[in-house]
Structure 1
Amino acid sequence: MINEPEMHPVTEELNESEILESDGMDSVSEVIPPRPKRRRPRKYKFVAGLLSVLIPGTGHLYLGLLRKGISLIFIILLDIAALLYFSSIGMQINVPLLILLALLIPVLYFYNVFDVLQTSDRILNLLNHNGAKDEDGVDSNLNSASPVSKRRSLVSEPGISFGLLLLFGGALLFLFRQKPVWLQFYIEIYSGVTVAGVLICIGVLLGAREIVQRINKRRGSGNLNIFRIGRFTAVLLLISVGVLQLIDWKDHTENMLLLLKWWPVVPVLWGIEYLLMYFSTRRAGSGTSLAGKKFRLDVGGVISAIVISASVFIVVEQEHYIHLWNRVNLNLTAAAVDYAQATGNKYQKPTLIVPVELKSAKLTIEAINGDILLHRAPVEDIEIVATVWVDQLEGVMAEAISEQSFVEVTEGSNIKITPKGKSYGESGKRQPRIDMDILIPEDRRFNLQVRTMNGGITLQNVEAIKDISLETGNGELILHKVYGDITGKTLNGGVRVRDVQGSVDLSTSGGDMNAWDVIGPLKLSTAVGNVAAVNSGGTADIFSKNGNLTVTEARMKVHAESLNGSINVRSSQIGGDWDIYSAVGDLDLFLPLDGSYSVEGSSGYGDISSDIPELFIDKKTLSGKVGTGEYKLHLEGNSNLNVRKY
């Protein structure tokens, strides 16, 4: 029998030192194989894009970008909740705000698809690059930056903003669903200052962050080697818009309209910032802290600041640019409507009582066809007496049109009065004429906005809180004993203003304009018609393309200009500079002998005459000084120039 070799338990006979001295480590490594590295499942760009198209945000979740995906989903839900809230509450709806909220949904949707496709490319390229091995089978990226740090540098996700979004966004989402009364009150009263504060805070934080980063770069402690050109331009824009909005909210001014005039400053500031950085880096030598630094245009930051500023302007100043649009399309709308005249059948509606609340501060009237008369009376609430005129119809048919015509009223902080006429006629576009006599309580004042396409507007013994806006397509503007700052326009009609305390800015395309006893700046402009201003207590600015101008007793600054018409200015005292020009027409001025002014006048083709001893005529010019010459009188024309004693 063959003897089998004996098996000895090596582990029991060998001591620890013997095991260490032997090749035990090699045997152990052979017996226990290394644990295989767990590989992440491969991500597919097509799947990520498809998920984003179907449900926004899910593509980012598929790629492992949980915070970005959740943020997109949450922002869309918050935007929908805000859209539903602002369209359902009882206060005056801000149409531009609803439009912006509605447009934000497709913008977020397409950004979600675009971003997930771009992010997929970066992640897949990074994984492919990290998976490369050298000849010994070792990852070639182990000696460089870690894949995690590279991934973070290529794929950005929100940091602390994610938590703030969930916190404040969730609170807003809850409030939008509950609709508390105090939230509506807060939005109506304090939304302006809130937006201003947010813009200023964002601008200050971004500016401070950029300054700190640049200081760290100069000290050599910064990680980035790139300066962003345009960041300070964006910061200044946000802060400027916030400050203007804060001033408007506090003082009830309209400084935000300055953005329409000063917006070209944005590229100027951007250009200055670019040039400063360009020359500073060129001057930097090899041993300076700016050596090796690069800079790039912060296009995203500047565009974002412009979009935010424009959105705030559109929402806050909706009445002004809507007014500009109304001026453009008023002729087109008026041409498409057929107006009934104040003839034929006349029906008087029962008096309509409109309760006046404590918070009521504005009265808006939007009419189509008919005269509008507003005046104060000993009444407790607003009373409306409407008279309906129906021509071209008789009997029952005319009465039916009258019954279907009424005045619609919306109560609240902004009382809105809108006549609703029943269209009739062969074309179906003829509007019955609805004249309105509106009585306002004597102890209440309102800001007024009155607009009609066809008909005159008359204000008598009316006091506004501050502003009065008037507009008619075809009709006169008549104001008597009015308190407030007035702006108005008529396309075809005259203007008569008497005894107004406040500024007046009125214009017409065709019609005479007359103003008496206006205490405040006066501005009258007509394309075709004569203009006369008597006893203006403030600056007088009158203009006519084809008409004569007359200014009597102008106590302050005067600017009068006529392209085709004579100008006659007379005053017993001079209290401001005068600038008078007539392209075609005589200039006749009557000046006091005991004033303090200097005169510089010229006439291109006419004669010059003067009976004031201190004024001298030299060919086609007139010059001289009366008293100390404090105020400057500049006279220019192409016809006769006559200066007489007053």
Structure 2
Amino acid sequence: MNSEQQDESVMQPKPPVIPPRQKKRPRKRKFIAGLLAAVIPGSGHLYFGLLRKGISFLFIILLDIAAMLYFSSLGMQINVPLLILLALLIPAVYFYNVFDALQSADRILRLPEESEPELPLTAGKTARRRAWISEPGIAFGLMLLFGGVLMFLFRQKPFWLQYTIENYAGAAVAGVLILGGLWLGGREIAKGMLVRNSGERRPRRVGRYTAAAVLAAVGILLLLDWVNGTDSMLLLLKWWPLIPVLWGVEYLLISLISHRRGNITKAPRPRMDLRGLLSAIVLGASVFIVAEQAHYLHLWNKVSLNLTAAAVDYGEAEGNRYEKAPLIVPVELNTSKITVDGINGDILIHRAAVEDIEITATVWVDQLEGAQAEAVSEQSFVQVEEGPTIKITPQYKTYGDSGKRQPRMDLDISLPEDRRFNLDIRTMNGGITLQNVEAIKDIALETGNGELILHRIFGNVKGKTLNGAVRARTVQGGVDLSTGGGSMDAWDVAGALKLSTVVGNISATGSGDEVSLSSKNGNLTVDGVRAKLHAESLNGTINVRSEAVGGDWEVYSAVGDINLYLPAEANYTMAGSSGYGNINSEISGLMIDKKTISGEIGTGEYKVHVEGNSSLIVKEY
């Protein structure tokens, strides 16, 4: 090529370079993210590429459901506040998932407008996005690891896990709270030192040290209760006002330090860490409610008393004790009923070697001393109306600042051994005990707060207590008892037995007639049922053992295992199902088909209907 051709090639313009056309990604919508998060938790985050956040929300809900099923289906004592908190966690996580999905979508959609429009999605923009939209880091892996292990154990239900929870859960939770409080406080101190050394203008957060103190204090009190068997956690009811005090002290100190630094380095003003402090308070309150279940059940039942009981200030069985002389009540030939209507005090009724009814009253006067206490005792007495119905009514001299405090009056009533009476016994605050009592027909019992104890009774008994345990042993007649909160036990009841409780376990042994047991939150144990059976528990395990089937059975547990020990040779037809659990049987005549069990043993005269949602196990008695 000569020089002229080279010059022409140099002078000719080069064709323009056309960059490759980039496909425009469709713009994502905030509305769609919110809709997806509302339908399936976590899906709104996945829609915007926040994979770890989306998986975390869904995994937490699944783990919470697994924990609810585990704690409500075991034979351990059911903790109602724990189940309530686990149930409330689901809507809390759900609505926070929707809220966070909308907030994250709004930040992501605003991010391109605040960055350089001509720059591609570079590492700098990615780092900026991570600063704007925080996602879990190593915590995500730890959550999957430990959460997955817990879900596996909840499903397998090993015995050692139940034993560990029942005996060491308090120590474990206390340790976590104490370590969490120390870590939170130490982390804030370390951050403050780094900021001061580096000269960085970062605002201090007010509330972190108070949150650390709350967590550590709750953990220490819980640990003391676990070690010593005390109720130190109840001190939180008196000490909780110290939280705003600590918060105020922290605010003043940090403001003073920041003001001094601001004069030198123009440091920003401190900001409130309301989210961190509220999280610590809610966590501490949740631990307190779960750990002190019995205390709050007692308070709830006290609130549940009727208006008459609510207006009374009950004296306790302490202080000054005065035993009055026995009161003799003549018994006429036509006397057939005894009624006792008390307000505050235990009532004991028993047969003794007496000709007439003898009443011994013991008066307790607390909060007063000397002549004042003695005057209250003298003016408190037992009023009796004689006739076909003997009415026994304690009369109380009120005292105290409010003028409504009732002295406690315990009654010991002895009945003649050769007479029978129908009984109607009531008290607002106190237990009722019947020993070796024979009624003409009926016995009625009612107390607002106290135990019901029956031993060697003849007659049909019907009674209730709002808060107290129930015991019935050797009753010749029917028994119909209920309690709002307390365990119930019955042995050798000849007639129909009906026991009902809202919170508590029920046990029935050796009943000869129809048995009906119902508990909203508690385990049911039946041993030796010979006739018709109805056993129902919403949250609790049901165990039934019997050498015979002499009537129709209805057994239902919404959340809890069902264990039946049935005779191999009897006359019944089995029809059972389990919604989510396994079904096993040792009796060859029963067939298992997926989630149902059926079969006919002998003539199939009686029906055994079993329904539940956890494991159903049928074994040979």
Superposition deviation, residue 328 in structure 1: 13
1:457 alignment partner AA:
I
CA distance in structure 2 between the partners assigned to 1:634 and 1:442 by the alignment:
45
CA distance in structure 2 between the partners assigned to 1:549 and 1:334 by the alignment:
31
SS at match of 2:374: helix
Deviations 1:184-204 (CA, angstroms, capped at 9, x unpaired): xxxxxxxxxxxxxxxxxxxxx
1:501 to 476, 485, 488: 476
CA distance in structure 1 between the partners assigned to 2:617 and 2:405 by the alignment:
53
Aligned to 1:388: 363
- What is the correspondence of 1:195-206 to structure 2 with a 5 Å cutoff? none
Deviations 1:607-634 (CA, angstroms, capped at 9, x unpaired): 1000100001000000011111111000
SS at match of 2:399: coil
SS at match of 2:375: helix
- What is the correspondence of 1:339-358 to structure 2 with a 5 Å cutoff? 339-358=314-333
Deviations 1:468-523 (CA, angstroms, capped at 9, x unpaired): 00000000000000000110000000100000011110000000000000000000
2:610 alignment partner AA:
L
SS at match of 1:594: coil
1:616 alignment partner AA:
M
Superposition deviation, residue 559 in structure 1: 0.1
- What is the correspondence of 1:61-100 to structure 2 with a 5 Å cutoff? none
Superposition deviation, residue 544 in structure 1: 0.2
Aligned to 2:602: 627
SS at match of 2:418: coil
- What is the correspondence of 1:67-466 to structure 2 with a 5 Å cutoff? 330-466=305-441
Superposition deviation, residue 335 in structure 1: 1.5
2:387 alignment partner AA:
G
Q: CA RMSD in A?
A: 1.3
State yes or no: 1:471 paired with 2:446: yes
Aligned to 1:512: 487
SS at match of 2:474: strand
State yes or no: 1:597 paired with 2:572: yes
Deviations 1:10-31 (CA, angstroms, capped at 9, x unpaired): xxxxxxxxxxxxxxxxxxxxxx
1:536 to 488, 502, 511: 511
CA distance in structure 2 between the partners assigned to 1:561 and 1:329 by the alignment:
24
CA distance in structure 2 between the partners assigned to 1:483 and 1:430 by the alignment:
37
CA distance in structure 1 between the partners assigned to 2:369 and 2:589 by the alignment:
73
State yes or no: 1:611 paired with 2:574: no
CA distance in structure 1 between the partners assigned to 2:318 and 2:371 by the alignment:
17
SS at match of 2:420: coil
Q: TM-score, normalised by structure 1?
A: 0.49
Deviations 1:539-574 (CA, angstroms, capped at 9, x unpaired): 000000000000000000000000111100010111
CA distance in structure 2 between the partners assigned to 1:387 and 1:632 by the alignment:
53
Please list every run of 5 or more consecutive structure 2 residues that lacks an aligned counterpart in the other structure: 1-301
Contact kept, 8 Å, 2:365 with 2:376, in 1: the verdict is yes
Aligned to 1:559: 534
CA distance in structure 2 between the partners assigned to 1:386 and 1:330 by the alignment:
25
Superposition deviation, residue 596 in structure 1: 1.1
State yes or no: 1:573 paired with 2:551: no
Distance 1:517 1:379, change over 3 A: same
1:489 to 459, 464, 478: 464
Deviations 1:269-290 (CA, angstroms, capped at 9, x unpaired): xxxxxxxxxxxxxxxxxxxxxx
Superposition deviation, residue 598 in structure 1: 1.2
Superposition deviation, residue 329 in structure 1: 9.1
Distance 1:617 1:329, change over 3 A: closer
CA distance in structure 1 between the partners assigned to 2:358 and 2:304 by the alignment:
31
Aligned to 2:616: 641
CA distance in structure 2 between the partners assigned to 1:507 and 1:407 by the alignment:
29
CA distance in structure 2 between the partners assigned to 1:333 and 1:509 by the alignment:
18
CA distance in structure 2 between the partners assigned to 1:443 and 1:379 by the alignment:
9
Q: TM-score, normalised by structure 2?
A: 0.51
SS at match of 2:559: coil
Superposition deviation, residue 332 in structure 1: 2.1
- Between the two proteins, what is the percent identity of the paired residues? 69
CA distance in structure 2 between the partners assigned to 1:538 and 1:331 by the alignment:
34
SS at match of 2:306: helix
1:549 to 524, 533, 536: 524
Deviations 1:272-317 (CA, angstroms, capped at 9, x unpaired): xxxxxxxxxxxxxxxxxxxxxxxxxxxxxxxxxxxxxxxxxxxxxx
Superposition deviation, residue 361 in structure 1: 0.4
SS at match of 1:554: coil
SS at match of 1:369: coil
SS at match of 2:371: helix
2:585 alignment partner AA:
S
Superposition deviation, residue 331 in structure 1: 2.5
SS at match of 2:376: helix
Please list every run of 5 or more consecutive structure 1 residues that lacks an aligned counterpart in the other structure: 1-326
Distance 1:329 1:446, change over 3 A: farther
- Larger RCO (CA under 8 A, 6+ residues apart): 2
Runs of 4+ with >3 A deviation: 327-330
Distance 1:558 1:328, change over 3 A: farther
CA distance in structure 2 between the partners assigned to 1:531 and 1:582 by the alignment:
14
CA distance in structure 2 between the partners assigned to 1:329 and 1:568 by the alignment:
31
CA distance in structure 1 between the partners assigned to 2:572 and 2:357 by the alignment:
51
SS at match of 1:353: strand
Superposition deviation, residue 464 in structure 1: 0.3
Aligned to 2:7: none
CA distance in structure 1 between the partners assigned to 2:554 and 2:581 by the alignment:
19
1:526 alignment partner AA:
T
SS at match of 1:392: coil
Deviations 1:436-458 (CA, angstroms, capped at 9, x unpaired): 10000001100100000000000
Contact kept, 8 Å, 2:514 with 2:533, in 1: the verdict is yes
1:552 alignment partner AA:
D
CA distance in structure 2 between the partners assigned to 1:343 and 1:595 by the alignment:
57
Contact kept, 8 Å, 2:303 with 2:310, in 1: the verdict is no
SS at match of 1:493: coil
CA distance in structure 1 between the partners assigned to 2:611 and 2:303 by the alignment:
33
Superposition deviation, residue 589 in structure 1: 0.4
Larger radius of gyration: 1
CA distance in structure 2 between the partners assigned to 1:617 and 1:593 by the alignment:
16
2:389 alignment partner AA:
N
